[in-house]
Structure 1
Protein backbone atom coordinates (compact mmCIF):
# COMPACT_ATOMS: atom_id res chain seq x y z
CA UNK A 1 0.00 0.00 0.00
CA UNK A 2 1.33 3.40 -0.92
CA UNK A 3 0.86 6.50 1.20
CA UNK A 4 -0.45 9.04 -1.28
CA UNK A 5 -0.58 12.73 -0.39
CA UNK A 6 -4.36 12.46 -0.13
CA UNK A 7 -4.20 9.53 2.30
CA UNK A 8 -1.51 11.26 4.39
CA UNK A 9 -3.67 14.41 4.66
CA UNK A 10 -6.67 12.30 5.71
CA UNK A 11 -4.47 10.51 8.29
CA UNK A 12 -3.32 13.87 9.71
CA UNK A 13 -6.91 15.14 9.89
CA UNK A 14 -8.26 12.02 11.60
CA UNK A 15 -5.29 11.91 14.00
CA UNK A 16 -5.82 15.54 15.02
CA UNK A 17 -9.51 14.78 15.66
CA UNK A 18 -8.42 12.20 18.23
CA UNK A 19 -9.37 8.98 16.46
CA UNK A 20 -7.46 5.86 17.42
CA UNK A 21 -5.04 4.16 15.04
CA UNK A 22 -7.55 1.31 14.59
CA UNK A 23 -10.34 3.73 13.69
CA UNK A 24 -8.10 5.56 11.23
CA UNK A 25 -7.03 2.27 9.62
CA UNK A 26 -10.68 1.29 9.19
CA UNK A 27 -11.55 4.63 7.56
CA UNK A 28 -8.54 4.59 5.25
CA UNK A 29 -9.04 0.95 4.29
CA UNK A 30 -6.31 -1.42 3.11
CA UNK A 31 -3.97 -0.45 5.93
CA UNK A 32 -3.30 -1.94 9.38
CA UNK A 33 -3.35 -0.23 12.75
CA UNK A 34 0.43 -0.73 13.02
CA UNK A 35 0.96 0.88 9.61
CA UNK A 36 -0.97 3.93 10.83
CA UNK A 37 1.10 4.09 14.02
CA UNK A 38 4.33 3.81 12.03
CA UNK A 39 3.29 6.60 9.66
CA UNK A 40 2.27 8.84 12.57
CA UNK A 41 5.74 8.40 14.09
CA UNK A 42 7.51 9.03 10.79
CA UNK A 43 5.46 12.20 10.30
CA UNK A 44 6.26 13.23 13.90
CA UNK A 45 2.62 14.09 14.56
CA UNK A 46 1.91 15.48 18.03
CA UNK A 47 0.48 13.18 20.70
CA UNK A 48 -3.24 12.96 21.28
CA UNK A 49 -5.33 12.83 24.44
CA UNK A 50 -5.29 9.36 25.94
CA UNK A 51 -5.76 7.65 29.27
CA UNK A 52 -3.22 8.96 31.76
CA UNK A 53 -3.07 12.53 30.51
CA UNK A 54 -1.78 14.57 27.62
CA UNK A 55 1.53 16.06 26.76
CA UNK A 56 0.64 18.93 24.46
CA UNK A 57 -2.22 20.73 26.33
CA UNK A 58 -0.38 20.41 29.65
CA UNK A 59 2.67 22.15 28.19
CA UNK A 60 0.50 24.89 26.69
CA UNK A 61 -1.28 25.44 30.03
CA UNK A 62 2.07 25.53 31.80
CA UNK A 63 3.39 28.16 29.41
CA UNK A 64 0.29 30.27 29.97
CA UNK A 65 0.62 30.13 33.74
CA UNK A 66 4.32 30.97 33.82
CA UNK A 67 4.16 33.81 31.31
CA UNK A 68 1.21 35.64 32.87
CA UNK A 69 2.27 38.74 34.81
CA UNK A 70 1.34 38.63 38.47
CA UNK A 71 0.83 41.31 41.04
CA UNK A 72 3.29 41.03 43.95
CA UNK A 73 0.54 40.17 46.46
CA UNK A 74 -0.81 37.23 44.47
CA UNK A 75 0.30 33.65 44.12
CA UNK A 76 -1.15 30.95 41.94
CA UNK A 77 -1.98 27.36 42.74
CA UNK A 78 -2.21 24.81 39.94
CA UNK A 79 -4.41 21.75 40.47
CA UNK A 80 -4.80 18.88 38.03
CA UNK A 81 -8.12 17.14 37.40
CA UNK A 82 -8.88 14.20 35.09
CA UNK A 83 -11.91 14.72 32.85
CA UNK A 84 -13.56 12.46 30.30
CA UNK A 85 -14.82 13.83 26.99
CA UNK A 86 -16.04 12.37 23.73
CA UNK A 87 -14.03 12.80 20.54
CA UNK A 88 -15.84 11.22 17.64
CA UNK A 89 -16.75 7.68 18.65
CA UNK A 90 -14.01 7.53 21.29
CA UNK A 91 -14.18 8.54 24.95
CA UNK A 92 -10.95 10.25 25.95
CA UNK A 93 -9.54 10.88 29.39
CA UNK A 94 -7.33 13.91 29.77
CA UNK A 95 -5.83 15.86 32.60
CA UNK A 96 -6.54 19.55 32.74
CA UNK A 97 -4.77 22.12 34.87
CA UNK A 98 -6.78 24.65 36.82
CA UNK A 99 -4.95 27.79 37.90
CA UNK A 100 -6.26 29.64 40.93
CA UNK A 101 -5.01 33.07 41.91
CA UNK A 102 -4.59 33.34 45.68
CA UNK A 103 -4.07 36.67 47.37
CA UNK A 104 -1.04 36.64 49.63
CA UNK A 105 -1.31 38.75 52.75
CA UNK A 106 1.79 38.67 54.91
CA UNK A 107 1.02 38.57 58.60
CA UNK A 108 1.58 41.97 60.12
CA UNK A 109 2.01 40.81 63.70
CA UNK A 110 4.98 38.45 63.21
CA UNK A 111 8.05 39.27 65.25
CA UNK A 112 11.18 37.45 64.10
CA UNK A 113 13.44 36.87 67.09
CA UNK A 114 17.06 37.89 66.97
CA UNK A 115 19.11 34.73 66.97
CA UNK A 116 21.64 34.26 69.76
CA UNK A 117 23.79 32.29 67.25
CA UNK A 118 24.69 29.41 69.57
CA UNK A 119 26.90 26.47 68.66
CA UNK A 120 25.92 22.86 69.30
CA UNK A 121 27.85 22.66 72.58
CA UNK A 122 26.18 25.82 73.90
CA UNK A 123 22.59 24.49 73.62
CA UNK A 124 20.64 23.64 76.79
CA UNK A 125 17.17 22.27 77.58
CA UNK A 126 15.80 25.84 77.58
CA UNK A 127 17.28 27.09 74.28
CA UNK A 128 15.84 26.93 70.77
CA UNK A 129 17.50 24.24 68.68
CA UNK A 130 16.35 25.60 65.28
CA UNK A 131 19.29 25.19 62.85
CA UNK A 132 20.22 28.25 60.80
CA UNK A 133 22.34 27.99 57.65
CA UNK A 134 24.33 25.21 56.06
CA UNK A 135 25.93 22.78 58.55
CA UNK A 136 29.01 22.55 56.34
CA UNK A 137 29.69 26.31 56.46
CA UNK A 138 31.53 28.35 59.10
CA UNK A 139 28.52 30.57 59.94
CA UNK A 140 26.17 27.65 60.83
CA UNK A 141 24.48 28.10 64.20
CA UNK A 142 21.30 27.49 66.19
CA UNK A 143 18.68 30.09 67.11
CA UNK A 144 19.38 29.85 70.85
CA UNK A 145 16.40 31.97 72.01
CA UNK A 146 14.48 30.87 75.11
CA UNK A 147 12.14 27.94 74.50
CA UNK A 148 9.07 27.07 76.60
CA UNK A 149 8.88 23.88 78.70
CA UNK A 150 9.13 20.60 76.79
CA UNK A 151 9.77 22.24 73.42
CA UNK A 152 12.95 22.21 71.38
CA UNK A 153 12.01 25.52 69.69
CA UNK A 154 11.19 29.09 70.65
CA UNK A 155 7.65 30.41 70.01
CA UNK A 156 8.50 31.71 66.53
CA UNK A 157 10.12 28.48 65.33
CA UNK A 158 7.32 26.40 66.89
CA UNK A 159 4.86 28.13 64.55
CA UNK A 160 7.11 27.25 61.61
CA UNK A 161 7.63 23.65 62.66
CA UNK A 162 4.16 22.67 63.86
CA UNK A 163 1.13 23.34 61.65
CA UNK A 164 -2.45 22.83 62.83
CA UNK A 165 -4.01 19.61 61.49
CA UNK A 166 -6.60 21.39 59.29
CA UNK A 167 -3.85 23.41 57.52
CA UNK A 168 -1.84 20.24 56.84
CA UNK A 169 -4.93 18.55 55.38
CA UNK A 170 -5.66 21.59 53.20
CA UNK A 171 -2.05 21.68 51.96
CA UNK A 172 -2.04 17.92 51.25
CA UNK A 173 -5.29 18.16 49.27
CA UNK A 174 -3.75 20.66 46.87
Structure 2
Protein backbone atom coordinates (compact mmCIF):
# COMPACT_ATOMS: atom_id res chain seq x y z
CA UNK A 1 0.00 0.00 0.00
CA UNK A 2 1.35 3.36 -0.97
CA UNK A 3 0.22 6.39 0.97
CA UNK A 4 -0.36 9.41 -1.25
CA UNK A 5 -1.82 12.82 -0.45
CA UNK A 6 -5.38 11.93 -1.53
CA UNK A 7 -5.56 8.79 0.63
CA UNK A 8 -3.99 10.65 3.57
CA UNK A 9 -6.61 13.40 3.13
CA UNK A 10 -9.41 10.81 3.12
CA UNK A 11 -7.92 9.17 6.21
CA UNK A 12 -7.83 12.49 8.05
CA UNK A 13 -11.42 13.32 7.04
CA UNK A 14 -12.79 9.91 8.09
CA UNK A 15 -10.75 10.12 11.31
CA UNK A 16 -12.26 13.54 12.07
CA UNK A 17 -15.77 12.09 11.56
CA UNK A 18 -15.03 9.70 14.40
CA UNK A 19 -15.31 6.46 12.44
CA UNK A 20 -13.68 3.35 13.84
CA UNK A 21 -10.32 2.28 12.50
CA UNK A 22 -11.92 -0.87 11.07
CA UNK A 23 -14.53 1.17 9.20
CA UNK A 24 -11.91 3.58 7.86
CA UNK A 25 -9.90 0.58 6.66
CA UNK A 26 -12.93 -0.88 4.88
CA UNK A 27 -13.66 2.39 3.13
CA UNK A 28 -10.05 2.88 2.05
CA UNK A 29 -9.51 -0.79 1.17
CA UNK A 30 -6.69 -1.29 3.67
CA UNK A 31 -6.27 -3.09 6.96
CA UNK A 32 -7.26 -1.68 10.34
CA UNK A 33 -3.65 -1.94 11.51
CA UNK A 34 -2.47 0.13 8.53
CA UNK A 35 -4.97 2.83 9.55
CA UNK A 36 -3.80 2.76 13.17
CA UNK A 37 -0.13 2.93 12.16
CA UNK A 38 -0.59 5.83 9.74
CA UNK A 39 -2.78 7.75 12.20
CA UNK A 40 -0.06 7.33 14.80
CA UNK A 41 2.64 8.53 12.41
CA UNK A 42 0.49 11.50 11.40
CA UNK A 43 -0.02 12.26 15.11
CA UNK A 44 -3.81 12.34 14.79
CA UNK A 45 -5.86 12.71 17.97
CA UNK A 46 -6.27 9.41 19.83
CA UNK A 47 -9.56 7.51 19.63
CA UNK A 48 -11.67 7.24 22.77
CA UNK A 49 -11.35 3.83 24.40
CA UNK A 50 -14.33 1.54 23.73
CA UNK A 51 -13.80 0.05 27.20
CA UNK A 52 -13.93 3.27 29.21
CA UNK A 53 -17.40 4.71 29.01
CA UNK A 54 -18.31 8.23 29.98
CA UNK A 55 -22.00 7.50 30.46
CA UNK A 56 -22.65 5.86 33.82
CA UNK A 57 -25.89 4.30 35.00
CA UNK A 58 -27.86 6.27 37.54
CA UNK A 59 -26.59 5.85 41.07
CA UNK A 60 -23.09 4.91 39.96
CA UNK A 61 -20.33 6.90 41.55
CA UNK A 62 -17.46 8.50 39.71
CA UNK A 63 -14.20 6.55 39.93
CA UNK A 64 -11.77 7.62 42.59
CA UNK A 65 -9.17 10.10 41.35
CA UNK A 66 -5.76 8.68 40.55
CA UNK A 67 -3.04 9.60 42.98
CA UNK A 68 0.14 10.91 41.43
CA UNK A 69 3.30 11.59 43.33
CA UNK A 70 4.23 10.47 46.81
CA UNK A 71 1.43 9.32 49.06
CA UNK A 72 3.31 9.33 52.36
CA UNK A 73 4.81 12.27 54.17
CA UNK A 74 8.59 12.40 53.81
CA UNK A 75 10.55 10.87 56.66
CA UNK A 76 12.12 13.41 59.00
CA UNK A 77 15.89 13.49 59.01
CA UNK A 78 18.05 13.61 62.11
CA UNK A 79 17.74 11.91 65.49
CA UNK A 80 14.23 11.00 66.59
CA UNK A 81 12.77 10.64 70.04
CA UNK A 82 9.87 8.33 70.66
CA UNK A 83 7.45 9.19 73.40
CA UNK A 84 6.69 6.47 75.92
CA UNK A 85 3.18 5.08 75.59
CA UNK A 86 0.73 6.28 78.16
CA UNK A 87 -1.31 3.88 80.22
CA UNK A 88 -4.94 3.63 79.16
CA UNK A 89 -7.52 5.06 81.47
CA UNK A 90 -8.82 2.58 84.01
CA UNK A 91 -12.30 1.32 83.29
CA UNK A 92 -14.62 -0.35 85.68
CA UNK A 93 -16.18 -3.67 84.77
CA UNK A 94 -18.90 -5.33 86.72
CA UNK A 95 -17.93 -8.71 88.23
CA UNK A 96 -20.84 -10.37 86.44
CA UNK A 97 -19.35 -9.63 82.99
CA UNK A 98 -16.09 -11.43 83.76
CA UNK A 99 -16.30 -15.18 83.37
CA UNK A 100 -13.39 -17.34 84.43
CA UNK A 101 -11.92 -19.51 81.71
CA UNK A 102 -10.33 -22.83 82.52
CA UNK A 103 -6.73 -23.06 81.30
CA UNK A 104 -6.26 -25.38 78.34
CA UNK A 105 -3.50 -27.90 78.29
CA UNK A 106 -1.72 -28.81 75.06
CA UNK A 107 -1.47 -32.49 74.25
CA UNK A 108 1.99 -33.98 74.46
CA UNK A 109 3.33 -34.97 71.03
CA UNK A 110 5.90 -37.69 70.64
CA UNK A 111 9.01 -36.62 68.66
CA UNK A 112 8.45 -39.44 66.14
CA UNK A 113 4.98 -38.08 65.37
CA UNK A 114 6.42 -34.65 64.63
CA UNK A 115 8.63 -35.95 61.83
CA UNK A 116 6.06 -36.35 59.08
CA UNK A 117 6.55 -39.23 56.70
CA UNK A 118 5.43 -38.16 53.28
CA UNK A 119 3.73 -40.49 50.83
CA UNK A 120 4.83 -41.33 47.30
CA UNK A 121 3.11 -39.16 44.69
CA UNK A 122 3.56 -41.56 41.75
CA UNK A 123 0.28 -41.82 39.80
CA UNK A 124 -1.01 -45.35 39.24
CA UNK A 125 -3.59 -45.84 36.49
CA UNK A 126 -5.28 -43.29 34.30
CA UNK A 127 -6.70 -40.07 35.77
CA UNK A 128 -10.47 -39.97 35.62
CA UNK A 129 -10.82 -43.76 35.65
CA UNK A 130 -12.20 -45.59 38.70
CA UNK A 131 -8.97 -47.37 39.64
CA UNK A 132 -6.75 -44.26 39.55
CA UNK A 133 -4.73 -43.60 42.72
CA UNK A 134 -1.28 -42.60 43.94
CA UNK A 135 1.34 -45.10 45.10
CA UNK A 136 1.14 -43.93 48.73
CA UNK A 137 4.35 -45.74 49.72
CA UNK A 138 6.87 -44.08 52.05
CA UNK A 139 8.72 -41.39 50.07
CA UNK A 140 12.50 -41.16 50.02
CA UNK A 141 13.81 -38.20 52.04
CA UNK A 142 13.92 -35.09 49.86
CA UNK A 143 12.03 -36.73 46.98
CA UNK A 144 8.31 -36.99 46.24
CA UNK A 145 8.54 -40.70 45.31
CA UNK A 146 9.23 -44.01 47.03
CA UNK A 147 12.54 -45.79 46.30
CA UNK A 148 11.09 -47.87 43.45
CA UNK A 149 9.47 -44.93 41.66
CA UNK A 150 12.44 -42.63 42.34
CA UNK A 151 14.59 -45.05 40.29
CA UNK A 152 12.16 -44.64 37.39
CA UNK A 153 11.81 -40.88 37.74
CA UNK A 154 15.46 -39.96 38.28
CA UNK A 155 17.67 -41.49 35.60
CA UNK A 156 21.42 -40.98 35.91
CA UNK A 157 23.06 -39.07 33.07
CA UNK A 158 25.46 -41.25 31.15
CA UNK A 159 29.04 -40.17 30.67
CA UNK A 160 29.56 -38.81 27.14
CA UNK A 161 32.82 -40.65 26.90
CA UNK A 162 30.86 -43.92 26.88
CA UNK A 163 29.02 -42.78 23.73
CA UNK A 164 32.27 -41.85 21.94
CA UNK A 165 33.71 -45.39 22.22
Q: What TM-score, normalized by structure 2, do the two folds share?
A: 0.34
More strand by share: 1
Structure showing greater relative contact order (alpha-carbon pairs closer than 8 Å, 6 or more residues apart): 1
Q: What TM-score, normalized by structure 1, do the two folds share?
A: 0.33
More helix by share: 1
